[in-house]
Amino acid sequence: MCTYITEKIAIEGSAKGASGWIKVTDGSIYLDHPVHAPFGHTLNIDFLAPALGPSGRVAVELSQDSARALVKAIQAVLDAAPAGLD
């Protein structure tokens, strides 16, 4: 099914896509049909630069297991980082 389950967040940072690096300001995280990954449904993340229009997007499609592993890895790296870094 087309779930449309989406979380949207504001983000600060950059992402590299087909046209090079772009400043991204928004993120969409959703579980739905992938375009390319070989699964029925994937955890998809769009890093977005809305000012650039629909092509201002860097996308990833991850299996649900991969996405859960990514969440743990990100949390572990952030927790291990010394306090006070900019």
Partner 1 sequence: MSDALHAETIKITSGNGDQIEAYSARSLDETPRGGVVVIHHLPGYDSQTKEIARTFAANGYNAVVPNLYWRQAPGASPDDAAATARAQGGIPDEQLVSDVAGAADYLKGLANSNGKVGTIGYCSGGRQSFLAAVSLPIDAAVDCYGAFVTGTLPEGFPLKVTTLVDRTPNLSCPLLGLFGNEDAHPSPAEVDELEAALQANGKAYEFHRYDNAGHAFFSVNRPAYRPEAANDGWERIFAFYGKHLAS
Interface residues toward partner 1, by CB under 8 A: 1-2, 4-6, 8, 28, 30, 32-33, 35-36, 38-40, 46, 53-55, 57, 59
CA distances from 31 to 19, 43, 60, 64, 79 (A): 26, 5, 11, 9, 26
Q: Minimum distance between the CB of residue 54 and partner 1, rounded to whole angstroms?
A: 4
Residue placing its CB nearer to partner 1 in the complex, 50 or 69: 50
Q: Is 18 left (phi over 0), alpha (psi -120 to 50) or beta?
A: alpha
Residue placing its CB nearer to partner 1 in the complex, 11 or 85: 11
